[in-house]
Amino acid sequence: MSVYNAPLRDMKFVLRELFDGSSLQTYKGYEDFSDDLIDAVLEEAGKLSSEVLFPLNRSGDEEGCTFENGVVRTPSGFKEAYKQFIEGGWTGTTASPEYGGQGLPKAVNALVEEMLCSANMAFAMYPGLTHGAYNAIEIYGTEEQKQTYLPKFVEGTWSGTMCLTEPHCGTDLGLIRTKAVPQDDGSVAVTGTKIFISAGEHDLTQNIVHLVLAKLPDAPPGIKGISLFVVPKFMPKPDGGVGARNGVACGSIEHKMGIKASATCVINFDNATGWLVGEKHKGMRAMFAMMNTARLGVGVQGLGLAEVALQNGLLYARERLQGRGLKGAVAPEKPADPLIVHPDVRKNLLTMKSMTEGVRALSMWVAINQDIASHAATPEERQAADDLVQLLTPVVKAMGTDTGFDVANLGVQIFGGHGYIREHGMEQYVRDARITQIYEGTNGIQALDLVGRKMGQHYGRYLRAFFHPVQDFIEANATDPAMEEMVLGLAKAFGRLQQAVGYTAQKGMSNPNEAGAAASDLLRMFAYVAIGFMWARSAKIALGKGNDDPTGFYKSKLKTAQFYMARVMPQTGALLSQILAGGDTIMNIEDALFDAA
């Protein structure tokens, strides 16, 4: 039987001690979010997650969603849980008070989202998609669109989706065929088919509002001809209710290996009435308002799954008796020692712990800077914060989801044969985590985004947002004997990263395949260094506590940081070797030789 307890102590550490989240109260709009209020929000989110959503996780996976006569039904208990979810105001946490939201800082909400995903990732996806739709309409929608849809999203009675992918194209959206034909009343008639639409149809809300990428008749070819349209399932009425059914129908739901309680739909649009969002032919700009939010959210999904896998792996390792310690019996009064005494099990657990807590810290760094980018007083502060967010978004998405999958797999390994069966719940985390590495842009796409776009953006300005604070930290702590181990490990890896960035930029200018061949390795190296920076900062805090550590929390931080620097950070050396090997060994094999017999 799986367990989950919200890791509130570590969440408060990264929010307050690692990043001084209390300073958010100095920004306009955040004045009322005292530490006590934020603690109450986190504690209530933890209760909701562990007491309401977590008990539905396994049953929801086993029952899945059902599709009959165009109607999708979520698993037993989901409607009741969603009702409780919206009654608690959780659908409007970060939304503007202007539309009934609470205006919660994004940094705090990231922690809430992590808890929801740990407890029940499939459930968390329904309100998560709505959050992305809210962002796109708030930024690019007309005033009428904002007043029509945003309050409904906030109260949770209407939900939202992203409709991008079509049967013949995934990432290459320039190939989409969905058409939007202008009508005399200013609306458009949308016709086409979209696939892999998460929460595209379900029984949780009164209305489902689709944000759809389509092309107008005068659209130029390729991605520059895409527009974004809002297409509701039911036509909105002036009084805020729902009217006639629109030309939107679910054709089927996918039968998946994971997140089975989240409906993934084929959605057919047949002359469906919609309205342009933003400028025509500029739909990708508006869609990226959703996609960037979603990419960070998916990274947090991976983190949430890593946390629950870690908790269950640790519990099992402590309780399961198996063999004796290599140096002799550790618990001679018992018939065998617990698994946790064995070096390989401990290595797995420390890898799980160091990566999970490291990704949480990295995610919080980005989330804090999202808040600064939107609320700081000066344009310079906002730009500097946004530069870091832009640079690290693909890193958080890719490394967060890789970590979720890797940690869940290590959890299965700790359980042994019991991890391979449903009884203990570990195998579900592996299945659920696997999709996170694919959707919202595969992790290979994230790597190309980092290398092909973000690194060179504004003559390297985004890179400076990361390189400068790391270099400043290394220089500031270089003469501290207590920090020698941390600084040395970080400095070596940082030097490798700088070398890899320079090499890839130089080679990629003359041959883009060189940059493409290095991209995934470079993103992972970037992530290891970024997480190492988080651990070095955490170690400095822990060292400053001395004996003021009654629970051993800070000692645990220091020991885990030491493990990370000694056992994880050296992987940057191998990654550098792979990058410097160049792209020839990847690209110089003829296609026909892949299956030559």
Tell me whether strands 188-198 and 264-277 are parallel, antiparallel or unpaired. antiparallel
CB 295 within 8 A of CB 523: no
Length of the chain: 597
247: Cβ–Cβ under 8 A, 6 or more apart, which residues? Answer: 189, 190, 269, 270, 271, 272, 273
440 flagged as catalytic:
yes
Distance CA 596, CA 49 (A): 52
DSSP of 40-83 = HHHHHHHHIIIIIIGGGHHHHHHH--EEETTEEEPPTTHHHHHH
262: Cβ–Cβ under 8 A, 6 or more apart, which residues? Answer: 65, 121, 122, 123, 125, 126, 198, 199
Q: Which two tokens stand for residue 59?
A: 């049953």
DSSP assignment letter at 281: T
Greatest Cα-to-Cα distance within the chain, rounded to the nearest angstrom: 84
**Sign of the CA dihedral with 571 first, then 576, 578, and 579 last:** positive
Backbone angles phi, psi at 489, to 5 degrees: -65, -40
Distance CA 210, CA 196 (A): 13
Geometric angle at alpha carbon 399, from 265 and 404, rounded to 5°: 65
Active-site entry in 17, 307, 427, 440? 440
Q: Select from 563, 575, 438, 446 the least CA-distant residue to 500.
A: 575
Q: Which residues are registered as beta bridge partners of 268?
A: 193, 249
- Residue written as token pair 């929460």: 199
Residues with a known catalytic role: 440
